A = this chain, B = another copy of it.
Amino acid sequence: MNQPLRMTKQRAAVAEVLDASDEFRSAQQLHELLRDRGDTVGLATVYRTLQALADGGDVDVLRTDDGEALYRRCARAEHHHHLVCRSCGRAVEIDGPTVEAWAAEVGASQGFSDIEHTIELWGTCAQCRANVTKSS
C-alpha cells in the first residue's frame, strides 16, 4: 500500500526534536530548534516530514487562532483531545467519552453524516500563570 518511509538523518532529527518537547510547536519553531541543535534541515523538509507524520497519525496537529499549524508527538495513537497552554504550548492529553457520544448524536439528529469533531481546550497553565504574576 504505502511504502515505508526511509529513515533519513533529517527525518530522524525532526522526530527527535518533536519527541524532546511536551509542547505544541509550529513548523517554523521546529526548524529553528533544529538549526540551534546544529542539524541543518531545510524548511521544506520540515514541512514535508511533519505532514507525513501527521498523515500517519504519529503527530497531532492543531491550529492557533490565526491559522498557524502546531504539531506535537502524542503518547497515544487513539483519538483524543488536548488541553493546551495558550502561552507556552504545553499540552495535556484528554479524552471525553461523553463528548464523543454527544457529537455523534447531535450530528445525526440534524441529518448530517460522516460527523467529525474538533474539540480543543485552551487555558493558562499553573506555571505560566505564576510567571505572569511574578513579573507584574
Chain B residues in 8 Å Cβ range of A115: 121-123
Contact yes or no, A124 B113, CB < 8 A = yes
Query: How many copies altogether?
Result: 2
Tell yes or no: A55 within 8 A of B by CB.
no
Report the stretch among A9-17, A27-35, A40-48, A61-69 that lies at the interface. Answer: A61-69
Chain B residues in 8 Å Cβ range of A102: 96, 98-99
The residue in chain B whose Cβ has the minimal distance to the Cβ of A68 is B67
* Number of A interface residues in the complex (CB < 8 A): 34
How distant is A50 from chain B, measured CB to nearest CB, in Å? Answer: 14
Interface digits, A84-102 against B, CB 8 Å rule (1 contact, 0 not)? Answer: 0110000010101011001
Chain B residues in 8 Å Cβ range of A117: 119-122
Interface residues of A in 89-136 (CB under 8 A from B): 92, 94, 96, 98-99, 102-103, 106-107, 110-126, 129
* 5 nearest A-B residue pairs (beta carbon): A112-B123, A67-B67, A111-B126, A115-B123, A116-B122
